[in-house]
Amino acid sequence: MTQGNADTADAGASGLLRIERADRVLTVGLNRPAKRNALNDGIILEIGECFASLPEDIGAVVIHGIGDHFSSGLDLSELTEHDATGGLLHSQMWHRVFDRIQYSRVPVIAALRGAVIGGGLELACAAHIRVAEPSTYFALPEGQRGIFVGGGGSVRLPRLIGVARMMDMMLTGRVYSATEGASYGFAQYVTEAGNGLGKALELATKIASNAPLTNFAVLQALPMIAEANPQTGLLMESLMATVAQSDKEAKRRIREFLEHKTAKVKPKS
Ligand SMILES: COc1cc(/C=C/C(=O)SCCNC(=O)CCNC(=O)[C@H](O)C(C)(C)COP(=O)(O)OP(=O)(O)OC[C@H]2O[C@@H](n3cnc4c(N)ncnc43)[C@H](O)[C@@H]2OP(=O)(O)O)ccc1O
């Protein structure tokens, strides 16, 4: 893995990830299109490394699949090598890596198309925003393979779509379309065909221009507040609000608005 500079498509030594940088946005491409971006140990470890060493001046990350699919999930050819202990270690390795995405300092957007299956769907769950092209389809065929989710899906997916829908997906192997995924709260945007990565990059650029402390609060505090009891949540909110508004960045941005130097908030015409 290497991280290229502006506008360069730079596959690293292994070539499992293609990482590009444009200004403050890092784009991470899963790069095994011949295997439909199946997630082997190598690619999982490289994703982990990438998120552990994000350059400080990066403001948002977009993760996507090279080729027609986001990811066909776990590389099934590797799973047969595990005994029970190996299976546990493998699943925990995925957890550590996907936690790095979820608890990343900067927002992560998953640009989805084609297959978003099994572990690929678990990877997308760890991102903060999901953008789907119409070709996107979601499925959890673990039941047909005789396995269970192992990449944090049973923790993250029910929080997005509910336990009942996840049960339906896992028990029936049902395939959800992009629009179903959006209506159930999994994808936040459905774009025109071919426009998913573009939309994700547009969102990432906008997000990267927010005050870093606000993005940090949204990523780190909001999920905790949402799950806390209301009294604890309200206290955490007040503390976070106080920290954010005390920052000189907030003072500068508010002053710019009052001096009519920044854009107003208007609906698109
Ligand atoms: C238990 O502990 C775990 C579990 C997990 C996570 C679990 C999961 O992810 S379960 C889900 C696994 N994925 C699947 O069952 C999908 C399998 N793939 C397909 O159905 C299709 O390949 C497709 C994605 C719909 C694409 O179809 P098509 O375009 O026709 O391409 P193919 O000809 O089928 O594939 C091309 C080539 O890729 C190989 N391949 C595709 N998917 C995988 C895969 N998931 N694993 C390995 N290889 C794959 C396919 O065999 C072809 O290879 P050739 O050599 O024949 O060219 C997480 C963590 C835990 O601890």
pLDDT tens digit sequence for 72-131: 999 999 987 789 999 999 999 999 999 999 999 999 999 999 999 999 999 999 999 999
Mutate to test the pocket of ligand 1, among 16, 32, 76 (most ligand atoms within 8 A of CB): 76
| Known catalytic residue at 180 | no
Q: Provide the pLDDT for residue 12.
A: 46
State ipTM. 0.99
Q: What mean pLDDT do residues 168-172 have?
A: 97
CA of 75 to the centre of ligand 1 (A): 6
Mutational pocket test of ligand 1: of 36, 79, 93, 122, the residue with most ligand atoms within 8 Å of the beta carbon: 36
Question: Model confidence at 148, in pLDDT bands (50, 70, 90)?
Answer: very high
17-208 belongs to which CATH class? Answer: alpha beta
Q: How far is the CA of 71 from the centre of ligand 1 (A)?
A: 8
CB within 8 Å of 28: residues ≥ 6 apart: 17, 18, 19, 47, 50, 61, 62, 63, 64
CATH class of domain segment(s) 212-262: mainly alpha
Ligand 1 center from residue 87 Cα (angstroms): 18
**What is the pLDDT at residue 6?**
35
**Domain positions in the chain:** 17-208, 212-262
Residue 13's pLDDT is what?
59
Q: Cα angle at 117 between 144 and 59, to 5 degrees?
A: 155
Question: Residues 103, 106, 109, 110: is their CA dihedral positive or negative?
Answer: negative
142 counts as catalytic: yes
Contact 44, 94 (CB under 8 A): yes
* Per-residue model confidence as pLDDT tens digits over 203-254: 999 999 999 999 999 999 999 999 999 999 999 999 999 999 999 999 999 9
**Predicted pLDDT at 24:** 97
- Count other Cβ atoms within 10 Å, centred on residue 100: 18
Query: Which atom of ligand 1 is least distant from the CA of 73?
Result: 9
Query: What confidence tier does 1 reach under pLDDT thresholds 50, 70, 90?
Result: very low
Could you tell me if the CB of 137 is within 6 A of ligand 1?
no
As a whole number, the mean pLDDT across the chain is 94
